[in-house]
């Protein structure tokens, strides 16, 4: 018997953890909201054999670039964040990924496409327009601030943004206000559903229930990470340390050999970060969009110790502006910030916890999931691309010898 379930295709990438984590959160939310009612597929188009190697490799090379030549990365990010470079990039993406997207849509025949990665919008819209497919696309922006213009494709059917600042940026870039929804970045629905107290969660995890708990997340890729751990280890404050090394096995083994002067729990990797954040009083980490979003959704203040120029600068600024944490740039600032948080019966830390709760959106994935379900159940979607847009696409594809003939009636 043919499966009549509506098909939801979620497109992601593996440049960092944020895009895939947001996609997994949406997938989980849809299953929570409507168990076994939809066919949900999570896919990375850059894993396709026909995807150009320079795009596939850009996922793993991202971290090397921002680590080894941060100022060059920042310069490239800034000069590309304008209309003409963005248009050129979108043209390259259409030519590079047109056949990949044609085959993906032919294979999966989705009723709706959701993307958490900005580079997929232009090639999807090109295929949809050329082949006259009535498939809506929803884009979920996974950066909190300093959002690159490549996210703001005005032809998407709904743009979901984290806050009003990004909404204003999208409007300035040409997106219609009616096609923009402010809903936060989707985080694991478990963050929203956790109702146990910090003490209860700590007891389940085997930690001290009463000690102030510092959750420290990082790896050897985080600048001065071991120096900051050493400062914490030799501080005179009373707390327990929870250290997660993010699959950095070498660092994990190295930290096992340290003579710790605090209660410490070392983890190479965890799959229960919502519980860890629920149990902690402070998160010390880099300023990645995902971890910042999850921390705020958990009402957890942040001490940011490493910020990649570009999009992460915006994440850090959001935390500071929300008075939900500190952004430190060296060891002295780190010592000062830890001291401010620990003294006076941790009054500043308590205030920051309240500010983090105000800034966070723990129900974001479920709220976004409801919108996706509502859109996919509507059967009246029809795209009407302008004739000159189609002609330009055909000319571009023909010039680059891209086969755009529709293979089947999908």
Please report the DSSP string for 395-410 in residue order. Answer: HHHHHTT------S--
pLDDT bucket at 265, cuts 50 / 70 / 90: very high
Kindly report the number of other CB atoms within 10 A of residue 407's CB atom. Answer: 10
pLDDT tens-digit profile of 359-372?
Answer: 998 899 999 999 99
In sequence order, the β-bridge partners of residue 6 are 38
pLDDT bucket at 168, cuts 50 / 70 / 90: very high
pLDDT of res. 404: 76
pLDDT of res. 316: 92
pLDDT at 296 over 90: yes
DSSP classification of residue 327: E
CA 109 to chain centre: 26
6-187+363-399 against 190-359: fold identical: yes
In sequence order, the β-bridge partners of residue 213 are 240
Please report the DSSP string for 160-197 in residue order. Answer: EESSHHHHHHHHHTT--GGGEEE------HHHHH--S-
Token duo for residue 363: 């129900």
pLDDT tens-digit profile of 55-108?
Answer: 777 665 555 555 554 554 454 555 556 665 677 788 888 888 999 999 999 999
Q: Which residues contact 166 (CB under 8 A, 6 or more apart)?
A: 141, 143, 144, 145, 147, 182
Mean pLDDT (the chain) is 88
Token duo for residue 37: 């009612």
pLDDT of res. 148: 85
Backbone angles phi, psi at 173, to 5 degrees: -80, -5
Instruction: Compute the radius of gyration of the chain from its Cα atoms.
Output: 23
Kindly report the number of other CB atoms within 10 A of residue 118's CB atom. Answer: 25
Token duo for residue 390: 């189609």
CB 154 within 8 A of CB 175: yes
Task: Indicate the domain borders of the chain.
Answer: 6-187+363-399, 190-359
pLDDT bucket at 389, cuts 50 / 70 / 90: confident
CA 151 to chain centre: 13
Closest CA to 303 of 338, 343, 272: 338
Helices (H), 206-281: 225-233, 249-256, 273-279
Most distant CA atoms of the chain, gap in Å: 70
CATH topology of domain 190-359: Rossmann fold (3.40.50)
CB 122 within 8 A of CB 93: yes
CA–CA separation, 90 vs 77, rounded Å?
Answer: 15
Token duo for residue 321: 């502006």
pLDDT tens-digit profile of 169-217?
Answer: 999 999 999 999 999 999 988 888 888 999 999 999 999 999 999 999 9
C-alpha distance from residue 109 to each of 26, 113, 316, 377, 409 (Å): 19, 10, 40, 15, 10
Average pLDDT estimate for 37-53? 92
- Per-residue burial over 367-393, b = 16 or more CB atoms within 10 Å of its CB, e = otherwise: bbbbebbebbeeeeeeeeeeeeeeeeb
CA–CA separation, 329 vs 345, rounded Å?
Answer: 25
pLDDT at 112 over 70: yes
- Per-residue burial over 46-63, b = 16 or more CB atoms within 10 Å of its CB, e = otherwise: bebeebbeebbeebeebe
Token duo for residue 280: 């902690």
CB 267 within 8 A of CB 244: yes
pTM across the whole model: 0.82
pLDDT tens-digit profile of 268-278?
Answer: 989 899 999 99
Backbone angles phi, psi at 116, to 5 degrees: -110, 15
CA–CA separation, 378 vs 199, rounded Å?
Answer: 45
CATH code reported for the domain at 6-187+363-399 = 3.40.50.2000
pLDDT of res. 73: 47
């Amino acid at each position: 018997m043919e499966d009549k379930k509506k098909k939801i295709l979620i497109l992601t990438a593996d440049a960092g953890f944020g895009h895939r984590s947001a996609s997994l959160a949406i997938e989980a939310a849809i299953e929570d909201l409507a168990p076994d009612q939809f066919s949900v597929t999570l896919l990375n188009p850059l894993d396709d054999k026909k995807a150009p190697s320079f795009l596939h490799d850009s996922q793993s090379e991202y971290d090397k670039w921002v680590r080894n030549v941060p100022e060059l990365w920042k310069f490239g990010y800034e000069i590309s964040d304008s209309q003409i470079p963005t248009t050129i990039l979108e043209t390259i993406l259409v030519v590079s990924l047109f056949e990949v997207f044609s085959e993906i849509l032919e294979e999966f025949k989705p009723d709706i496409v959701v993307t958490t990665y900005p580079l997929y919008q232009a090639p999807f819209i090109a295929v949809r327009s050329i082949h006259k497919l009535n498939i809506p696309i929803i884009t979920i922006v996974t950066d909190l601030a300093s959002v690159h213009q490549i996210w703001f494709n005005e032809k998407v059917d709904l743009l979901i943004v984290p806050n009003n600042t990004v909404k204003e940026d999208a409007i300035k870039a040409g997106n219609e206000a009616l096609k923009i929804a402010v809903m936060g970045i989707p985080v694991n629905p478990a963050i929203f559903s956790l109702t146990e107290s910090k003490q209860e969660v700590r007891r389940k995890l085997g930690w001290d229930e009463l000690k102030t708990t510092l959750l420290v997340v990082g790896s050897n890729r985080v600048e001065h990470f071991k120096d900051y751990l050493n400062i914490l280890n030799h501080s005179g404050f009373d707390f327990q340390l929870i250290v997660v090394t993010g699959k950095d096995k070498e660092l994990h083994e190295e930290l096992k050999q340290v003579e710790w002067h605090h209660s410490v729990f070392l983890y190479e990797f965890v799959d229960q970060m919502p519980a860890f954040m629920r149990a902690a009083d402070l998160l010390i980490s880099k300023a990645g969009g995902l971890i910042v979003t999850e921390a705020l959704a958990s009402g957890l203040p942040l001490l940011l110790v490493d910020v990649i120029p570009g999009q992460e600068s915006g994440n850090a600024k959001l935390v500071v502006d929300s008075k939900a944490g500190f952004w430190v740039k060296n060891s002295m600032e780190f010592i000062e910030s830890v001291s401010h948080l620990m003294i006076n019966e941790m009054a500043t830390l308590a205030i920051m916890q309240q500010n983090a709760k105000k800034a966070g959106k723990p129900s974001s994935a479920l709220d976004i999931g409801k919108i996706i379900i509502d859109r996919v159940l509507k059967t009246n979607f029809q795209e009407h691309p302008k004739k000159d847009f189609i002609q330009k696409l055909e000319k571009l594809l023909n010039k680059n010898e891209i086969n755009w003939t529709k293979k089947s009636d999908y």
